[in-house]
Chains A and B, each alone.
Chain A
């Protein structure tokens, strides 16, 4: 909302300012339905052709505890959920005190005057607007609802302040609550209208978004977990198995609900090992299947994953990363599973690792993973994370008619079949049900094997088969597109990131370049194998900082950084890591990058 005062229109009653974007943070408790307000705003933005990105924290306690939802809506490109909020809506004293520091100086804090006692010191730096949110909600709905509905009341307030499209919002509320008992929808509308009609009088101006660029296609609005689940459906996946764990569970819940429409099934298993085993079994039987988990569940799956590598059975495993090790931080974000994804398990077990860089990319990465698994007969791990998985973004609606694919197995008879042929070619995997005319049928196993899958312990074959499994990935690497640099191809600093750090890193580049600093960025989606051409990209920069949400390790760099240093032996590749369980703020990246580079220069 930096250009808040660019054009102020003074009307007879209120002041209307044109803005291009705004960051609003709602802070309350987890049972207040804060996510619902954010969801409505995000969806509204999507329908209004605006860009939107959200961020939320939820406590890992079973019920209750502080919760926030931050939504950034803009007419231009929105890359992150925003470092600082323009507006803070605080429901309780703890929300007010805990989040005032997230508000930019001069920002607006709207607080529930029934619960919050404002601090006179802070009143000097932030515009304070006290509204009896609880009281007015109870008044609007009636006593039996207690304070339920104050989220919708607050939505009404926000709609008024930001001159949002009320008919569209009312339609969203109707879609959300319409199916339930009619009283629920009636109460929601009463609360919304009470909020919208509440007179903020002269204390607050009204803001209007500038028009967004027209889009050729509609936008859809969803979380990364939703995008991933629907990506699998589009990719033709019709079977999956998993065990519930946060923040992965949402994907399995969606697949369980949706797959039957397509004749598929998703099974909730007794444990993580059964889940991956069932998915591998289904994949062996003919069609790539999916399993997934977070943190601890991924550790449990690694033995079976090694089997799929050895037996060359396609599989897709989703890891929605959270803070680790062990139970760690179940509802916070971290990127500390890169090592287990690339190397987890015993033995030499090459597998493919992909990292989607945002919500939209979750949809397309799911499809890419399925197709790599099928083509190379290899397990593919998708490294999502809590931040991408739970945040809501709007993105251009995919052309589903073109994208949806059929991956039913080909059961047409073959003359003969050598499942592990050492000829370096990619073969069609012949699955059960296929007549093999020479009568020699394959066995898939975990033992080292000959070309027909039968056990052998000969030194020669173990070397050849190990190399064969590795060379499939080398072949894939050669086929990957070179990643694109964001910004100039030459300069002082290249910020390298993977996964969900893409947005804040790009925004950091924009900000640095606007300030005259020579900074570019590179997001690596293909973690294992790495894409070709990285050395040429790196050669264009004096410094390379690998920005990650994981620990700096014993030697001062994070997990991707370690991989890149091992691969390129380049001492100018340095780590830039953190482990606070929060997404990177743009400012944080820039400040830390400057320190890292200054350090390096001194050391030289």
Chain B
């Protein structure tokens, strides 16, 4: 096989050698001015994403930021790097196509609760089950903000919206439980109101080799003001970390932790080092390619055609 014709993406992102290339500044990373409402929690997530890129010295061309549809999904337009603003709910399969063909990129997906748990709910299950390497930050605001206050899959029972004038009656999704059941291999919970913790969680997610998810509470000041006050000490609430003795490799324990009433716990709920689909497919390819070693692509195809004569 001629090396040039093999799908041979550059290998995984290499660590930056000192003095090789400078890290990017916030200015270099900033693109369009965010269109979010003043006070929106999403500003905090964006600022920390840029900080993460700065801190880890990621390069423009190696970053892929993908989003679906929703307020939070405008994200890629505000980052000076390769970005994708895809269709509603389908950012994860789009990103999977990137992940499985370009392991050399740092792949981040941003979206809201509608993308993650409603229209794209099944994609979340399958990206998690397949453990496709990427980092997914779900900016959960418990409401549909872009379309101006309809019920979301995470809206609590009794939430009054334009589609539930008497208060929502449908049981909300518990993101942590959903992600544990789906088999995500890194699951963390954070809030926009605690930036240091959120940055820690995003960084840990980025360093995880697998499908890593951070659910970040991100307040919609316009349509669900005060939704997360109970989790914010500055507003009289309580920010409680995952207990130090919690075994992050125990999914049953994680599920119990997720059962706590709001505001619940923040931190890493679950982490597993089971192999990614990326690695498993690479293993299949390596095994299969042993049998055709040294052959050019056309010679491999010729051998197949010889059997069809």
Contact = CB atoms under 8 A, between A and B. Distances in A.
B86 A446 contact: yes
Interface stretch (B96-104, B136-144, B219-227): B96-104
B144 to A, nearest CB: 18
Given A284-B84, A286-B102, A447-B85, A408 B8 contact: yes
Given A286-B101, A287-B101, A262 B7 contact: yes
Interface in A438-472: 439-447, 453-455
Given A281-B94, A285-B102, A436-B61, A408 B4 contact: yes
Contacts of B69: 446
Contacts of B296: 404
19 contacts: A175-B307, A221-B308, A230-B305, A238-B6, A260-B289, A261-B291, A262-B7, A263-B289, A270-B126, A274-B93, A277-B97, A286-B9, A286-B101, A398-B305, A406-B5, A432-B63, A433-B61, A434-B61, A446-B86
B7 A408 contact: yes
A430 to B, nearest CB: 9
Interface string B62-96: 11101001000000110011111111001011111
B147 interface: no
B308 to A, nearest CB: 5
A219 B308 CA distance: 9
A443 B297 CA distance: 34
B90 A277 contact: yes
Interface string B49-66: 000000000011111101
Contacts of B8: 263, 408
A309 to B, nearest CB: 12
Nearest to B69: A446
B87 A307 contact: yes
Contacts of A401: 298, 302
A225 B284 CA distance: 24
B274 to A, nearest CB: 18
Contacts of B301: 230, 233-234, 400, 404
B61 A274 contact: no
A263 B6 CA distance: 6
Contacts of B126: 269-270, 274
Interface in A408-423: 408, 411
Interface in A199-240: 218-222, 226, 230, 233-234, 236, 238-239
B20 interface: no
Interface string A262-276: 111101011101110
Contact of B97 (A46, A233, A281): A281
A240 B101 CA distance: 10
Contact of B80 (A222, A241, A433, A441): A441
A261 B288 contact: yes
Given A284-B98, A408-B5, A445 B308 contact: no
B194 to A, nearest CB: 29
Interface of B: 1-2, 4-10, 28, 31-32, 59-64, 66, 69, 76-77, 80-87, 90, 92-98, 100-102, 104-105, 122-123, 125-126, 281, 284-285, 288-289, 291-292, 296-298, 300-302, 304-305, 307-309
A266 to B, nearest CB: 10
Contacts of A285: 64, 97-98, 101-102, 105
B97 A238 contact: no
Contacts of A404: 5, 296-298, 301
Contacts of A443: 31, 76-77, 82-85
A444 B98 contact: no
Contacts of B304: 230, 258
Interface of A: 43, 46-47, 175, 218-222, 226, 230, 233-234, 236, 238-239, 241, 258, 260-265, 267, 269-271, 273-275, 277-287, 289, 303-304, 307, 311, 397-398, 400-401, 403-406, 408, 411, 432-436, 439-447, 453-455
Contact of A283 (B2, B76, B82, B97): B97
Nearest to B98: A285
Nearest to B76: A443
Contacts of B64: 285, 432
A390 to B, nearest CB: 16
B5 A281 contact: no
Nearest to B295: A261
A43 B308 CA distance: 8
A47 B104 CA distance: 46
Contacts of A261: 288-289, 291-292, 300
Central interface residue in A239, A439, A454, by most chain B CB within 10 Å:
A439
A230 B305 CA distance: 9
A241 to B, nearest CB: 7
Contacts of A406: 2, 4-5, 297
Contact of A46 (B98, B298, B309): B309
Given A218-B309, A283-B97, A433-B61, 20 more contacts: A220-B308, A221-B308, A234-B301, A238-B6, A261-B291, A263-B7, A275-B93, A277-B87, A287-B101, A400-B301, A404-B5, A404-B297, A411-B10, A432-B63, A432-B64, A433-B62, A441-B80, A445-B77, A454-B31, A454-B77
Instruction: Kindly list the 3 A-B residue pairs having the minimum CB-CB distance in the complex, ordered from nearest.
Output: A281-B97, A445-B85, A238-B7
Nearest to A444: B84
A218 B309 CA distance: 8
B51 to A, nearest CB: 18
Nearest to A392: B308
B306 to A, nearest CB: 9
Contacts of B61: 432-436, 441
B78 to A, nearest CB: 10
Contacts of A269: 93, 126
Contact of B81 (A265, A398, A441): A441
A304 B81 CA distance: 23
